[in-house]
Structure 1
Amino acid sequence: MSHKLTLKALAPVTHDTNHYVFDRPEGIDFEPGQAAALMLDREGWRDEDRPFTFTSQPEDTILEFVIKSYPDHDGVTKRLPDLTEGDHVLMTDPFGAITDHGPGVFIAAGAGVTPFISILRRRSRDDALSGSQLLYSNKTEADIILKEEWERMDGLNPVFTVTDEESSDFSQGRIDRKFLEEHVQDFEGKIFYICGPEGFVDDVRDSLKGLGAEADNIITEEGW
Protein backbone atom coordinates (compact mmCIF):
# COMPACT_ATOMS: atom_id res chain seq x y z
CA MET A 1 0.00 0.00 0.00
CA SER A 2 1.25 3.48 -0.85
CA HIS A 3 0.89 6.48 1.48
CA LYS A 4 1.31 10.13 0.49
CA LEU A 5 3.41 12.18 2.91
CA THR A 6 3.76 15.95 3.06
CA LEU A 7 7.11 17.49 3.98
CA LYS A 8 6.89 19.70 7.07
CA ALA A 9 10.59 20.48 7.64
CA LEU A 10 14.08 19.70 6.37
CA ALA A 11 17.34 20.51 8.15
CA PRO A 12 21.00 19.46 7.78
CA VAL A 13 22.59 16.91 10.12
CA THR A 14 26.00 16.65 8.43
CA HIS A 15 27.46 17.98 5.18
CA ASP A 16 25.61 15.29 3.20
CA THR A 17 22.87 14.09 5.56
CA ASN A 18 19.52 15.71 6.31
CA HIS A 19 16.69 15.36 8.80
CA TYR A 20 13.26 15.13 7.17
CA VAL A 21 9.95 15.63 8.98
CA PHE A 22 6.70 14.54 7.34
CA ASP A 23 3.11 14.42 8.44
CA ARG A 24 1.82 11.02 9.51
CA PRO A 25 -1.22 9.58 7.74
CA GLU A 26 -3.42 7.14 9.63
CA GLY A 27 -2.74 3.42 9.46
CA ILE A 28 1.07 3.45 9.68
CA ASP A 29 2.49 1.20 12.39
CA PHE A 30 6.15 0.34 12.90
CA GLU A 31 8.70 -0.66 15.51
CA PRO A 32 11.90 1.26 16.31
CA GLY A 33 14.54 0.19 13.78
CA GLN A 34 12.13 -0.51 10.94
CA ALA A 35 12.03 1.23 7.58
CA ALA A 36 9.84 2.07 4.61
CA ALA A 37 10.56 2.76 0.96
CA LEU A 38 10.13 6.34 -0.23
CA MET A 39 9.41 7.51 -3.77
CA LEU A 40 9.38 11.03 -5.16
CA ASP A 41 5.86 12.04 -6.13
CA ARG A 42 6.99 13.25 -9.53
CA GLU A 43 6.58 12.08 -13.09
CA GLY A 44 9.15 9.40 -13.87
CA TRP A 45 10.11 8.86 -10.21
CA ARG A 46 7.12 7.14 -8.64
CA ASP A 47 8.56 3.68 -9.38
CA GLU A 48 12.03 4.56 -8.04
CA ASP A 49 11.86 3.51 -4.39
CA ARG A 50 14.63 3.45 -1.79
CA PRO A 51 14.45 2.14 1.80
CA PHE A 52 14.93 4.57 4.68
CA THR A 53 14.63 4.01 8.41
CA PHE A 54 12.16 5.82 10.63
CA THR A 55 13.99 7.89 13.24
CA SER A 56 10.78 9.00 14.95
CA GLN A 57 9.06 6.89 17.59
CA PRO A 58 6.00 4.71 16.91
CA GLU A 59 3.78 6.93 19.05
CA ASP A 60 4.86 10.23 17.45
CA THR A 61 2.35 12.21 15.40
CA ILE A 62 4.95 12.89 12.70
CA LEU A 63 7.31 10.71 10.66
CA GLU A 64 11.03 11.49 10.72
CA PHE A 65 13.95 10.22 8.66
CA VAL A 66 17.68 10.94 8.66
CA ILE A 67 18.87 10.39 5.09
CA LYS A 68 22.34 10.54 3.60
CA SER A 69 22.54 11.88 0.05
CA TYR A 70 24.80 10.52 -2.66
CA PRO A 71 25.20 13.35 -5.20
CA ASP A 72 27.35 11.21 -7.50
CA HIS A 73 24.31 9.02 -8.20
CA ASP A 74 21.37 10.56 -10.03
CA GLY A 75 18.82 8.87 -7.80
CA VAL A 76 16.31 9.47 -5.04
CA THR A 77 18.82 10.52 -2.37
CA LYS A 78 20.34 13.16 -4.66
CA ARG A 79 16.93 14.75 -5.22
CA LEU A 80 15.45 14.54 -1.73
CA PRO A 81 17.39 17.61 -0.45
CA ASP A 82 15.71 19.68 -3.17
CA LEU A 83 12.29 19.14 -1.59
CA THR A 84 10.62 22.15 -0.01
CA GLU A 85 7.95 22.41 2.66
CA GLY A 86 4.63 21.19 1.28
CA ASP A 87 6.16 18.84 -1.29
CA HIS A 88 4.99 15.23 -1.34
CA VAL A 89 6.65 11.82 -1.33
CA LEU A 90 5.09 8.38 -1.52
CA MET A 91 5.82 5.72 1.08
CA THR A 92 5.27 1.96 1.29
CA ASP A 93 4.09 0.13 4.38
CA PRO A 94 6.84 -0.32 7.01
CA PHE A 95 9.11 -3.36 7.01
CA GLY A 96 12.44 -4.52 8.41
CA ALA A 97 14.06 -7.15 10.60
CA ILE A 98 16.17 -4.79 12.70
CA THR A 99 14.14 -4.17 15.84
CA ASP A 100 14.94 -3.89 19.53
CA HIS A 101 16.03 -7.27 20.92
CA GLY A 102 17.55 -5.82 24.08
CA PRO A 103 20.76 -4.07 25.12
CA GLY A 104 23.75 -5.02 23.02
CA VAL A 105 26.51 -3.92 20.69
CA PHE A 106 25.30 -1.76 17.80
CA ILE A 107 27.76 -1.87 14.89
CA ALA A 108 27.34 0.54 11.99
CA ALA A 109 29.10 2.01 8.98
CA GLY A 110 28.03 5.33 7.50
CA ALA A 111 24.27 5.67 7.03
CA GLY A 112 23.92 2.19 8.50
CA VAL A 113 23.54 3.88 11.88
CA THR A 114 20.02 5.08 11.04
CA PRO A 115 18.11 1.95 12.20
CA PHE A 116 19.76 2.38 15.59
CA ILE A 117 18.66 6.00 16.08
CA SER A 118 15.10 5.28 17.17
CA ILE A 119 16.12 2.17 19.13
CA LEU A 120 18.82 3.95 21.12
CA ARG A 121 16.75 7.10 21.62
CA ARG A 122 13.92 5.03 23.05
CA ARG A 123 16.27 3.14 25.34
CA SER A 124 17.84 6.42 26.42
CA ARG A 125 14.40 7.87 27.16
CA ASP A 126 13.51 4.78 29.20
CA ASP A 127 16.87 4.75 31.04
CA ALA A 128 17.57 1.33 29.51
CA LEU A 129 20.91 1.82 27.75
CA SER A 130 23.10 0.18 30.37
CA GLY A 131 25.36 -2.42 28.79
CA SER A 132 25.04 -1.05 25.25
CA GLN A 133 27.84 -0.02 22.91
CA LEU A 134 27.87 1.80 19.59
CA LEU A 135 30.78 0.92 17.30
CA TYR A 136 30.54 3.35 14.40
CA SER A 137 32.78 3.58 11.32
CA ASN A 138 32.94 6.49 8.86
CA LYS A 139 35.36 7.86 6.31
CA THR A 140 35.96 11.10 8.26
CA GLU A 141 34.82 12.80 11.46
CA ALA A 142 32.60 15.12 9.39
CA ASP A 143 30.65 12.07 8.21
CA ILE A 144 29.63 10.94 11.71
CA ILE A 145 25.86 11.21 12.03
CA LEU A 146 24.61 12.54 15.41
CA LYS A 147 28.05 12.30 17.03
CA GLU A 148 27.23 14.68 19.89
CA GLU A 149 23.95 12.93 20.63
CA TRP A 150 25.66 9.55 20.96
CA GLU A 151 28.26 11.05 23.27
CA ARG A 152 25.55 12.56 25.50
CA MET A 153 23.55 9.36 25.94
CA ASP A 154 23.91 8.16 29.50
CA GLY A 155 24.71 4.45 29.55
CA LEU A 156 25.85 4.19 25.93
CA ASN A 157 29.51 3.58 25.16
CA PRO A 158 30.18 5.02 21.68
CA VAL A 159 33.42 4.20 19.88
CA PHE A 160 34.10 6.02 16.61
CA THR A 161 36.59 4.98 13.97
CA VAL A 162 37.52 6.67 10.69
CA THR A 163 39.09 5.15 7.61
CA ASP A 164 40.20 8.16 5.53
CA GLU A 165 41.38 10.82 8.00
CA GLU A 166 44.80 10.17 9.47
CA SER A 167 44.76 13.44 11.44
CA SER A 168 41.73 12.35 13.48
CA ASP A 169 42.10 11.50 17.16
CA PHE A 170 39.58 8.69 16.75
CA SER A 171 40.51 5.10 16.05
CA GLN A 172 41.87 4.51 12.57
CA GLY A 173 40.68 1.78 10.23
CA ARG A 174 37.71 -0.43 9.62
CA ILE A 175 35.70 -2.43 12.10
CA ASP A 176 37.33 -5.83 11.70
CA ARG A 177 38.11 -8.77 13.95
CA LYS A 178 41.01 -6.98 15.64
CA PHE A 179 38.88 -3.90 16.33
CA LEU A 180 36.11 -6.04 17.80
CA GLU A 181 38.57 -7.89 20.04
CA GLU A 182 39.89 -4.56 21.33
CA HIS A 183 36.52 -2.98 22.08
CA VAL A 184 34.10 -5.78 22.97
CA GLN A 185 34.18 -8.04 25.99
CA ASP A 186 32.38 -11.37 26.35
CA PHE A 187 31.03 -12.25 22.91
CA GLU A 188 29.03 -15.24 24.14
CA GLY A 189 25.42 -14.50 25.03
CA LYS A 190 25.59 -10.88 23.88
CA ILE A 191 23.27 -9.37 21.24
CA PHE A 192 24.90 -7.74 18.21
CA TYR A 193 23.18 -5.45 15.73
CA ILE A 194 24.89 -4.79 12.38
CA CYS A 195 23.92 -2.35 9.63
CA GLY A 196 25.89 -0.88 6.74
CA PRO A 197 26.97 -1.87 3.23
CA GLU A 198 26.40 -5.54 2.46
CA GLY A 199 30.11 -6.40 2.41
CA PHE A 200 30.56 -4.69 5.78
CA VAL A 201 27.70 -6.67 7.29
CA ASP A 202 29.07 -9.96 5.96
CA ASP A 203 32.60 -9.29 7.23
CA VAL A 204 31.51 -8.17 10.70
CA ARG A 205 29.11 -11.10 11.05
CA ASP A 206 31.86 -13.57 10.15
CA SER A 207 34.25 -11.92 12.61
CA LEU A 208 31.67 -12.03 15.40
CA LYS A 209 30.97 -15.71 14.82
CA GLY A 210 34.69 -16.41 14.85
CA LEU A 211 34.96 -14.65 18.20
CA GLY A 212 32.19 -16.70 19.79
CA ALA A 213 29.00 -14.73 19.11
CA GLU A 214 25.93 -16.89 18.60
CA ALA A 215 24.35 -16.67 15.14
CA ASP A 216 20.86 -16.21 16.61
CA ASN A 217 22.11 -13.18 18.55
CA ILE A 218 23.33 -11.32 15.44
CA ILE A 219 20.61 -8.98 14.16
CA THR A 220 20.75 -7.75 10.55
CA GLU A 221 18.29 -6.96 7.81
CA GLU A 222 16.71 -10.02 6.20
CA GLY A 223 18.85 -11.55 3.49
CA TRP A 224 22.03 -9.80 4.68
Structure 2
Amino acid sequence: MKEHVVKIKSITFINYNVLRIVVERPDDYDFEPGQATEVSINQDKWKDEKRPFTFTSLPTDRVLEFTIKIYPEHNGVTEKLSKLEKGDELILREVFGAIKFKGDGIFLAGGAGVTPFISILRSLEYEDKLGNNQLIFANTTKKDIFLEEEFNNLLGNRYTNILSEEETQKYAKGYMDKDFLKSKIPHFSQFFYVCGPMEMINSVVEDLKELGADDDKIVTEEY
Protein backbone atom coordinates (compact mmCIF):
# COMPACT_ATOMS: atom_id res chain seq x y z
CA MET A 1 0.00 0.00 0.00
CA LYS A 2 1.55 3.28 -1.13
CA GLU A 3 1.92 5.97 1.51
CA HIS A 4 1.99 9.73 0.95
CA VAL A 5 3.53 12.05 3.53
CA VAL A 6 1.87 15.48 3.38
CA LYS A 7 2.29 18.69 5.35
CA ILE A 8 -0.57 20.42 7.13
CA LYS A 9 -1.26 23.78 5.48
CA SER A 10 -3.89 24.89 7.99
CA ILE A 11 -5.68 23.43 11.00
CA THR A 12 -8.61 25.13 12.75
CA PHE A 13 -11.58 24.27 14.94
CA ILE A 14 -14.90 24.96 13.20
CA ASN A 15 -16.86 23.82 16.23
CA TYR A 16 -15.99 22.97 19.83
CA ASN A 17 -15.09 19.40 18.79
CA VAL A 18 -14.69 19.50 15.00
CA LEU A 19 -11.41 20.18 13.18
CA ARG A 20 -10.85 21.32 9.62
CA ILE A 21 -7.45 20.14 8.43
CA VAL A 22 -6.10 21.20 5.03
CA VAL A 23 -3.07 19.34 3.69
CA GLU A 24 -0.95 19.18 0.57
CA ARG A 25 -2.34 17.07 -2.25
CA PRO A 26 0.02 14.45 -3.70
CA ASP A 27 0.39 14.28 -7.48
CA ASP A 28 -2.08 11.95 -9.22
CA TYR A 29 -4.02 11.44 -6.00
CA ASP A 30 -7.68 11.37 -6.97
CA PHE A 31 -10.94 10.65 -5.17
CA GLU A 32 -14.66 10.81 -5.78
CA PRO A 33 -16.93 12.84 -3.48
CA GLY A 34 -17.88 10.68 -0.51
CA GLN A 35 -14.65 8.65 -0.46
CA ALA A 36 -12.05 8.44 2.29
CA THR A 37 -8.54 7.31 3.12
CA GLU A 38 -6.67 5.92 6.10
CA VAL A 39 -4.72 8.67 7.85
CA SER A 40 -2.02 8.54 10.50
CA ILE A 41 0.25 11.11 12.11
CA ASN A 42 3.86 11.12 10.90
CA GLN A 43 5.38 10.97 14.36
CA ASP A 44 6.95 8.19 16.39
CA LYS A 45 4.34 6.01 18.13
CA TRP A 46 1.59 7.36 15.84
CA LYS A 47 2.63 6.26 12.34
CA ASP A 48 0.83 2.93 12.56
CA GLU A 49 -2.30 4.31 14.23
CA LYS A 50 -4.47 4.49 11.10
CA ARG A 51 -7.96 5.99 11.09
CA PRO A 52 -10.42 6.42 8.19
CA PHE A 53 -11.30 10.02 7.39
CA THR A 54 -13.41 11.36 4.54
CA PHE A 55 -12.26 13.99 2.08
CA THR A 56 -14.46 17.08 2.39
CA SER A 57 -12.76 19.14 -0.32
CA LEU A 58 -13.74 19.14 -3.97
CA PRO A 59 -12.03 16.62 -6.27
CA THR A 60 -10.83 19.61 -8.32
CA ASP A 61 -9.16 21.43 -5.39
CA ARG A 62 -5.38 21.69 -5.29
CA VAL A 63 -5.37 20.76 -1.61
CA LEU A 64 -7.11 18.08 0.45
CA GLU A 65 -9.44 18.89 3.32
CA PHE A 66 -10.66 16.70 6.17
CA THR A 67 -13.42 17.61 8.61
CA ILE A 68 -12.83 15.54 11.73
CA LYS A 69 -14.77 15.16 14.96
CA ILE A 70 -12.52 15.06 18.02
CA TYR A 71 -13.08 12.60 20.86
CA PRO A 72 -10.86 13.81 23.75
CA GLU A 73 -12.14 11.10 26.09
CA HIS A 74 -10.61 8.41 23.87
CA ASN A 75 -7.11 9.88 24.33
CA GLY A 76 -6.30 8.64 20.85
CA VAL A 77 -5.68 9.76 17.29
CA THR A 78 -8.30 12.51 17.09
CA GLU A 79 -7.13 14.03 20.37
CA LYS A 80 -3.55 14.00 19.06
CA LEU A 81 -4.70 15.59 15.79
CA SER A 82 -6.21 18.46 17.75
CA LYS A 83 -2.73 19.28 19.10
CA LEU A 84 -1.02 19.44 15.70
CA GLU A 85 0.04 22.64 13.97
CA LYS A 86 0.71 23.97 10.50
CA GLY A 87 3.78 22.21 9.09
CA ASP A 88 3.23 18.95 10.94
CA GLU A 89 2.84 15.89 8.73
CA LEU A 90 0.19 13.26 8.10
CA ILE A 91 0.44 9.99 6.20
CA LEU A 92 -2.27 9.26 3.60
CA ARG A 93 -2.95 5.93 1.98
CA GLU A 94 -5.16 4.47 -0.74
CA VAL A 95 -8.55 5.99 -1.46
CA PHE A 96 -11.61 3.86 -0.69
CA GLY A 97 -15.32 4.15 -0.03
CA ALA A 98 -18.68 2.96 -1.32
CA ILE A 99 -20.66 6.14 -0.67
CA LYS A 100 -21.00 7.85 -4.03
CA PHE A 101 -23.71 10.02 -5.53
CA LYS A 102 -26.06 7.99 -7.74
CA GLY A 103 -29.00 10.33 -8.13
CA ASP A 104 -31.13 12.87 -6.30
CA GLY A 105 -32.39 11.77 -2.92
CA ILE A 106 -32.22 12.13 0.83
CA PHE A 107 -28.98 12.27 2.82
CA LEU A 108 -29.47 10.88 6.34
CA ALA A 109 -26.54 11.66 8.65
CA GLY A 110 -25.78 10.96 12.28
CA GLY A 111 -23.06 13.13 13.86
CA ALA A 112 -19.68 12.72 12.12
CA GLY A 113 -21.49 10.56 9.56
CA VAL A 114 -22.30 13.75 7.67
CA THR A 115 -18.69 14.06 6.45
CA PRO A 116 -19.04 11.94 3.27
CA PHE A 117 -21.97 14.13 2.28
CA ILE A 118 -20.02 17.39 2.58
CA SER A 119 -17.91 16.81 -0.54
CA ILE A 120 -20.90 15.36 -2.41
CA LEU A 121 -23.10 18.39 -1.72
CA ARG A 122 -20.28 20.85 -2.43
CA SER A 123 -19.56 19.08 -5.71
CA LEU A 124 -23.22 19.13 -6.72
CA GLU A 125 -23.31 22.86 -6.04
CA TYR A 126 -20.08 23.36 -8.03
CA GLU A 127 -21.69 21.52 -10.97
CA ASP A 128 -25.02 23.35 -10.48
CA LYS A 129 -26.74 20.01 -9.85
CA LEU A 130 -28.03 20.34 -6.29
CA GLY A 131 -31.53 19.64 -7.56
CA ASN A 132 -34.00 18.56 -4.89
CA ASN A 133 -31.52 16.76 -2.66
CA GLN A 134 -32.34 16.89 1.03
CA LEU A 135 -30.21 16.54 4.18
CA ILE A 136 -31.46 15.37 7.55
CA PHE A 137 -28.76 15.76 10.21
CA ALA A 138 -29.13 14.05 13.59
CA ASN A 139 -27.11 15.17 16.61
CA THR A 140 -27.28 14.95 20.37
CA THR A 141 -27.54 18.67 21.19
CA LYS A 142 -27.55 22.00 19.36
CA LYS A 143 -23.86 22.60 20.03
CA ASP A 144 -22.99 19.39 18.17
CA ILE A 145 -24.29 20.75 14.86
CA PHE A 146 -21.51 21.94 12.55
CA LEU A 147 -21.48 23.60 9.10
CA GLU A 148 -25.07 24.67 9.70
CA GLU A 149 -24.70 27.95 7.80
CA GLU A 150 -23.20 26.20 4.79
CA PHE A 151 -25.91 23.52 4.72
CA ASN A 152 -28.55 26.23 4.98
CA ASN A 153 -26.98 28.11 2.08
CA LEU A 154 -26.77 24.94 -0.01
CA LEU A 155 -30.18 23.47 0.69
CA GLY A 156 -32.43 26.03 2.35
CA ASN A 157 -35.62 24.38 3.58
CA ARG A 158 -34.37 21.01 2.33
CA TYR A 159 -32.04 20.89 5.34
CA THR A 160 -33.41 19.57 8.65
CA ASN A 161 -31.79 19.08 12.06
CA ILE A 162 -33.03 16.69 14.74
CA LEU A 163 -31.66 16.56 18.30
CA SER A 164 -31.97 13.51 20.53
CA GLU A 165 -31.26 15.11 23.91
CA GLU A 166 -32.19 18.78 23.67
CA GLU A 167 -35.52 20.45 23.05
CA THR A 168 -35.53 23.77 21.20
CA GLN A 169 -38.05 25.78 19.21
CA LYS A 170 -35.85 25.71 16.12
CA TYR A 171 -35.08 22.01 15.74
CA ALA A 172 -36.99 18.75 15.81
CA LYS A 173 -36.60 16.64 18.96
CA GLY A 174 -36.21 12.88 18.94
CA TYR A 175 -34.60 10.21 16.81
CA MET A 176 -34.39 9.45 13.11
CA ASP A 177 -36.98 6.69 13.48
CA LYS A 178 -39.73 5.43 11.20
CA ASP A 179 -42.31 8.01 12.28
CA PHE A 180 -39.90 10.89 11.82
CA LEU A 181 -38.77 9.67 8.40
CA LYS A 182 -42.37 9.23 7.29
CA SER A 183 -43.18 12.80 8.38
CA LYS A 184 -40.25 14.34 6.49
CA ILE A 185 -39.98 12.30 3.31
CA PRO A 186 -42.68 12.69 0.64
CA HIS A 187 -41.97 9.41 -1.17
CA PHE A 188 -39.63 6.46 -0.86
CA SER A 189 -38.83 5.78 -4.50
CA GLN A 190 -35.73 8.00 -4.48
CA PHE A 191 -32.14 7.35 -3.42
CA PHE A 192 -31.21 7.33 0.27
CA TYR A 193 -27.66 7.95 1.51
CA VAL A 194 -27.13 6.83 5.11
CA CYS A 195 -24.03 7.36 7.26
CA GLY A 196 -23.42 7.53 11.01
CA PRO A 197 -22.91 5.17 13.95
CA MET A 198 -23.48 1.53 12.95
CA GLU A 199 -26.52 1.16 15.21
CA MET A 200 -28.12 4.19 13.56
CA ILE A 201 -27.34 2.96 10.05
CA ASN A 202 -28.87 -0.47 10.69
CA SER A 203 -32.00 1.02 12.25
CA VAL A 204 -32.55 3.65 9.55
CA VAL A 205 -31.97 1.19 6.71
CA GLU A 206 -34.49 -1.23 8.22
CA ASP A 207 -37.05 1.57 8.62
CA LEU A 208 -36.51 2.78 5.06
CA LYS A 209 -37.14 -0.68 3.67
CA GLU A 210 -40.31 -1.04 5.73
CA LEU A 211 -41.47 2.33 4.39
CA GLY A 212 -41.02 1.14 0.82
CA ALA A 213 -37.49 2.15 -0.13
CA ASP A 214 -35.79 -0.05 -2.72
CA ASP A 215 -32.74 -1.87 -1.35
CA ASP A 216 -30.84 -0.96 -4.53
CA LYS A 217 -31.41 2.73 -3.82
CA ILE A 218 -30.06 2.71 -0.26
CA VAL A 219 -26.39 3.75 -0.28
CA THR A 220 -24.21 3.06 2.78
CA GLU A 221 -20.56 2.41 3.45
CA GLU A 222 -19.53 -1.22 3.04
CA TYR A 223 -18.17 -2.69 6.27
Q: TM-score range by the shorter chain?
A: over 0.9
The answer to whether the 8 A contact 1:136-1:161 is kept is yes
Against the structure 1 CA distance between its residues 154 and 126, is the aligned structure 2 distance closer, same or farther, given a 3 Å change threshold? farther
CA distance in 2, matches of 1:160, 1:29: 32
CA distance in 2, matches of 1:177, 1:44: 45
The answer to whether the 8 A contact 1:150-1:156 is kept is no
1:136-175 alignment, distance < 5 Å: 136-154=137-155, 157-167=158-168, 169-175=170-176
CA distance in 2, matches of 1:168, 1:66: 28
What TM-score do the two structures reach when normalised by structure 2?
0.96
CA distance in 1, matches of 2:77, 2:100: 25
Residue ranges of structure 1 left out of the alignment (5+ in a row): none
Instruction: Give structure 1 regions of 4+ aligned residues with deviation exceeding 6 angstroms.
Output: none
The answer to whether the 8 A contact 1:129-1:155 is kept is no
Aligned to 1:104: 105
CA distance in 2, matches of 1:180, 1:128: 24
Aligned to 1:20: 21
Q: Deviation at 1:13?
A: 1.2
Identity of paired residues, percent? Answer: 42
- 1:53-76 C-alpha deviation (Å, 9 max, x unpaired): 001111211000100000000111
Against the structure 1 CA distance between its residues 25 and 156, is the aligned structure 2 distance closer, same or farther, given a 3 Å change threshold? farther
Q: Deviation at 1:154?
A: 4.8
Q: Deviation at 1:119?
A: 0.4
CA distance in 2, matches of 1:84, 1:168: 39
The answer to whether the 8 A contact 2:134-2:155 is kept is no
Aligned to 1:213: 213
Residue ranges of structure 2 left out of the alignment (5+ in a row): none
Matched residue type, 2:41: L
Q: Deviation at 1:153?
A: 1.2
